Amino acid sequence: MRVLSSLVSSLFLSGAAIVSAASSWSFEDATVSISTKGAGVGGGSKDKLNPSTPLAKSVSLGAGDTLKLVLTNVDGKTAKRPHQAFLTLTDPTTGLEESFVLSVKESGKGKVDLSQKDLPHQFLTSSKPLAASIVIGSFGSSAPYKSKVFDLQVSRDPNVPLTIPEAPLRYAAVPEIHHIFRSDPKSPPKIITLVFAAAVIGALPVLLGVWMSLGANANHLSKALGDAPVSHALFYGSILAMEGIFFMYYTSWNLFQTLPAAGVVGFFAFLSGSRALTEVQERRLAGLR
Amino acid sequence: MRWLLSSALVLVWSAAAAAKSFTGNRLLVVLEEQSEREKYSVFLEDLTSRGFTTKVESPKADKLSLFRHGERAFDHVLLLPAKSKGLGPAFTANNILEFLKLEGNVLVALSSESATPTAVQSALLELDISIPADKGAVVVDHFNFDSSSASEKHDVLLLQRPGALRSDVKNYFGGEGYIAVPRAVGQILGNDSPLLSPILRAPSTAYSYSPKDEAEAVEDPFAAGEQLSLISTLQANNAARLMVLGSAEVLQNKWFSENAKISGKSIKTANREFAQQLSAWTFKETGVLKVGKVVHYQDEGKSKKMNTSLAIPENNPTIYRVKSDVHFQVEISEYSNDHLTPFVPSPNDNIQLEFSMLSPFQRLNLSPIAQTTNSTIFGVAFKTPDQHGIFNFRINYRRPFFTNIDEKRQVTVRHFAHDEWPRSWQISGAWVWIGGIWVTVAGWLAFVAVWLYSAPTERSVKKTQ
């Protein structure tokens, strides 16, 4: 932006100076020609340049081409050698500038040759045409000249690889990084879960039904309780209590609460179990099982 | 009584601290010809009035050394151009670099009218700043020169005060008016170093040439256009500052408020204010950042107010769980001439927090959340990544013209503990298995009951008989 504004202001400035100063720098007989390697005489293009208006069409510089700029520097009307005669290329997007010095003879005739290998890599990859301006200035009171004279379109051979150096480090804010979290574990749709859970729970009535049909029953409960009431109640109760302990362990207890409780219940199950199972054995020996 | 005394003490202290560099006030001015001192008198008086104790010495003065007992003997050095090519044993290139290593600041003023000492030249080359080798090389511009004092030679450049280096960099050198840069030595800065930054670039039509060899027409200029830097700076990794001022005359009384003419327009130069800005930055009166407290805590739904009192320690947790919400806050102040002010970064710039283990897992922009009288509190809330390990909260804030901030706080990030996972019944996919277990339990109880209490049926009784 600053570059652009300074360019504009210096253009304006030079324009103003041309009006006011007694003499001012300019050029005459300027041509820009492109010669293509191997195309022979007459190949390429040749255009006359005007100091007051830039060339309407842009000049194209191909891979093997050489650009040749020839002009005569004039101070007012007389041909003269200035101290500064530059061809300045500007990248319109980045504002990058590079000046090429015209070799000027005593007579004021100057020329510069340019090919792609003279250009920095930023110019070779520029998407927009480069603005080529001529700067002529010298010591003393003559007003200097600076104006855009043509656009330079650099067309690179896409088959030739270009080594672009890595952009140097500059201290600035770098892009943000947001950590990508691993996705949470997912459950299958609830309806499927419920169907299968229902199937699993439904298996219990089926099992009980099959047992019933095979003749399972609890008819000897009263007989067993009659024969050994304490031990049967304790034995079955301790098995229930053990399941209760497992439930408590699952929901809230830790291992150190679980183990003593399981030990106590297990002790009662052992003592009462031996009595209860003796009673069961008596029934079997009596042919009641 | 006691508070009266302490407030009086504070007053005295603040009066003593007023108008002073952040790092120290011992300034050495190296000037070969003591007779030239008069030329810089206003600038030197300005420095003295800002609290510097200046010592003007010839480079070859007896017993003059930048170091004493292995420490730097001065905090800042101003090297003014000398007639002779050598600067003597106290100012070898190695000594100048060593002085920078000890966090001393150097302002090197060059002039095209006197040869640049070889020691300075090689020290600058070491820092990737190149200046023309031949004596008398000068920057001229046929477009922006002072037509009242240099109508023939065009070597007094009149330039607008520089803008910001980039849109995200704070500009310490801007302002109204033109500055005169007479007979400057241009510099080229190496492209690879992020430590170098130009302050004042030459206008696009300027070029540097050697009047001895190229009197008729310039054939091979040292550099041209904006690639030519008139004032450039280096801020080393330890925040030592070096400024190369292409034209020593910028600091001279003559140009401080001179009438000049650029393309028919009469102006007054603003060099005095500009010289003040240049020296203030180089001698660390501006652009110095200071980090206060760094606080982080687990976010439990309520935000905590940061206590910026120095009496209370930071008291940060040392361990976090993965995927927990964390708040981070840091207090940053900027030193501005004589006091600490709340730091405000440029609108396009961001202070960034990295939460990193080897490489950053989170890199987040901090936003200002509060301001105290002399600091801004920046903060951000984020979730710790789902990776356990030893992590760092790190702020590595490096920008041109600011001193560097590199703060680290190490924390452990642990796994979920066994009782921090969701319970199995909260996971719908587990319901089938939980159902299976309870069906098994119920089935087992029913089986035991049947085994214990089942009476034989008729059929089976017959079978056994």
* Range A54-65 average pLDDT: 84
* 3-class SS of residue B254: helix
The whole-angstrom separation of Cα A283 and Cα A276 is 11
Yes or no: say if B448 and A232 are a contact pair by the CB < 8 Å rule.
no
Residues A175, B445: C-beta atoms closer than 8 Å: no
Strands B76-79 and B105-109: parallel
pLDDT for A69 beyond 80: yes
Instruction: Give the gap in angstroms from C-alpha A117 to the nearest C-alpha of chain B.
Output: 18
Query: Is beta strand B71-72 parallel, antiparallel or unpaired with respect to A59-61?
Result: unpaired
Please state the φ and ψ torsions of residue B290, each to the nearest 5 degrees.
-135, 135
Residues 225-244, chain A, touching B (beta carbon < 8 A): 232, 235-236, 239-240, 243
How deeply is A156 buried, as exposed, middle or buried, from its count of CB atoms within 10 A (0-12, 13-18, 19+)?
A: middle
pLDDT at B18: 45
Mean pLDDT across the stretch A260-280? 94
User: Quick one: pLDDT at residue B99?
Assistant: 94
* B462 has pLDDT over 70: no
pLDDT at B303: 64
**Amino acid letter, B61:** A
Least confident of A36-50, A75-89, A220-234, B106-120: A36-50
Q: Where is pLDDT greater, at B351 or B309?
A: B351
Give the whole-angstrom CA distance, residue A235 versus residue A48. Answer: 117
Residue B144 sits at the vertex; the CA angle it makes with B138 and B149, to the nearest 5 degrees, is 70
Question: What pLDDT is stored for residue A16 in this prediction?
Answer: 43
Evaluate if residue A15 carries a pLDDT over 50: no
Q: Is the pLDDT of residue B9 over 50?
A: no
Residue A159 or residue B161, greater confidence: B161
A165 against B6, higher pLDDT: A165
Lookup: tokens for B259: 């009438």
Strand residues in chain A grouped as ranges (E): 25-35, 45-49, 59-61, 66-75, 78-79, 84-90, 97-101, 103-104, 109-115, 130-137, 145-154
Band (A3; pLDDT cuts 50, 70, 90): very low
Q: What is the pTM of this model?
A: 0.81
For A207-234, write each residue's pLDDT tens digit.
999 999 988 888 888 888 888 889 999 9
**Predicted local distance difference test score (pLDDT) of residue A179:** 93
Which residue in A175, A176, A193 is closest to B429 by CB distance? A193
Tokens of B79: 């090297």
Geometric angle at alpha carbon A91, from A126 and A15, rounded to 5° = 150
Residues in chain A, overall count: 289
Exposure string for B136-149, b = 16+ CB within 10 A, e = fewer: bbbbbbbbbbbbeb
Quickly count: other Cβ atoms within 10 Å of residue A226's Cβ: 11
Helix axes B271-282, B41-49, angle to 10 degrees: 50
Averaged pLDDT, B315-338: 91
d(CA B173, CA B176): 10
Classify burial at B122, counting beta carbons within 10 Å of its beta carbon; exposed 0-12, middle 13-18, buried 19 or more.
middle
pLDDT number for residue A13: 45
Mutation site for A-interface testing, chosen from B148, B210, B452 by largest number of A Cβ within 10 Å? B452
Instruction: Please provide the average confidence, as pLDDT, over all residues in chain A.
Output: 85
Q: Check CB contact under 8 Å for B448 and A10.
A: no
pLDDT tens column, B357-375: 999 999 999 999 989 998 9
Q: Do B350 and A173 touch (CB under 8 A)?
A: yes
Predicted confidence at residue B446, as pLDDT, reads 94
pLDDT tens per residue across span A98-136: 999 988 888 888 889 988 888 888 888 888 889 999 999
The reported pLDDT for the residue numbered A41 is 58
Mean per-residue pLDDT, B437-452:
93
Q: How far apart are CA A114 and CA B274, in angstroms?
A: 41
Question: Which stretches within B69-147 are classed as H helix?
Answer: 93-101, 118-126
Share of chain A above pLDDT 90, in %: 36
Using a CB-CB cut-off of 8 Å, the residues of chain B touching A73 are none
Give the pLDDT mean for B442-450: 94
**Strand extents, DSSP E, B162-279:** 178-182, 188-189, 196-201, 207-209, 223-224, 229-235, 241-245, 259-262, 265-268
pLDDT of A161 above 60: yes
What is the predicted pLDDT for the residue at B134? Answer: 82
Average pLDDT of chain B?
87
Residue the block writes with tokens 């104790």:
B53
| Helix-strand-coil split of chain B, %, nearest 5 | 25, 30, 45
User: Which residues are paired to A112 by β-bridges?
Assistant: A69
User: What per-residue confidence (pLDDT) applies to B29?
Assistant: 93
Contacts of B220 (CB under 8 A, 6+ apart): A101, B214
Do B231 and B199 contact (CB within 8 A), yes or no?
yes
Confidence band of B304 (pLDDT split at 50, 70, 90)? low
- Residue percentage of chain B with pLDDT more than 90: 58
What's the pLDDT at A171? Answer: 92
- According to DSSP, the residues that pair with A151 across neighbouring strands are A131
Q: How confident is the model at residue B62 (pLDDT cuts 50, 70, 90)?
A: confident
Res B1: pLDDT: 44
A157: closest CA of chain B, how far (Å): 27
Residue of B nearest to A224 (CA): B453
CB contacts of A187 in chain B (<8 Å) are: 427-430
Residue A265 has pLDDT above 60, yes or no: yes
- Residues 6+ away with beta carbon under 8 Å from B232: B129, B187, B189, B196, B197, B198, B199, B243, B244
Of B192, B360, B436, the CB nearest to A177: B360
More confident residue, B458 or B19: B458
Suggest the residue from B149, B355, B432 to mutate for an interface test with chain A (most A CBs closer than 10 A): B432
pLDDT higher than 80, residue B464: no
Distance, in Å, from the CA atom of B105 to the CA atom of B287, rounded to the nearest integer, reads 13
Structure tokens at A167: 């952009």
Cross-chain Cβ contact B323/A181 below 8 Å: yes
Q: Which is nearest to A23 in space by CA: A96, A100, A82?
A: A82
For the stretch B81-95, pLDDT in tens is 988 778 888 899 999
Tokens of B218: 């310039």
Could you report the per-residue pLDDT of B64-80, keeping only the tens digit for each?
889 999 899 999 999 99
Say what the pLDDT of residue A23 is.
83
Span B408-435, pLDDT tens digits: 999 999 999 988 899 999 999 999 999 9
Average pLDDT over residues A189-218: 93
The predicted model gives B396-412 an average pLDDT of 94
Which token pair is B150?
A: 């240099």
> B407 Cβ partners below 8 Å, 6+ apart?
B291, B294, B330, B393, B394, B395
Nearest to residue B200, comparing CAs of B241, B139, B122, B114?
B139
Above pLDDT 70, what percent of chain A? 90
* Per-residue pLDDT at A155: 84
- Which is more confident, A2 or B187? B187
Question: Which residue's structure tokens are 């419920």?
Answer: A194
User: Model confidence at B5, in pLDDT bands (50, 70, 90)?
Assistant: very low
Q: What is the mean pLDDT of residues A239-265?
A: 95
Can you tell me the distance from the alpha carbon of A73 to that of A96, in angstroms, rounded to the nearest whole number? 26
CB-nearest partner of B143 from A10, A171, A280: A10
pLDDT of residue A126: 84
Q: Which of A178-187, B14-23, B59-68, B392-401 has the lowest mean pLDDT?
A: B14-23
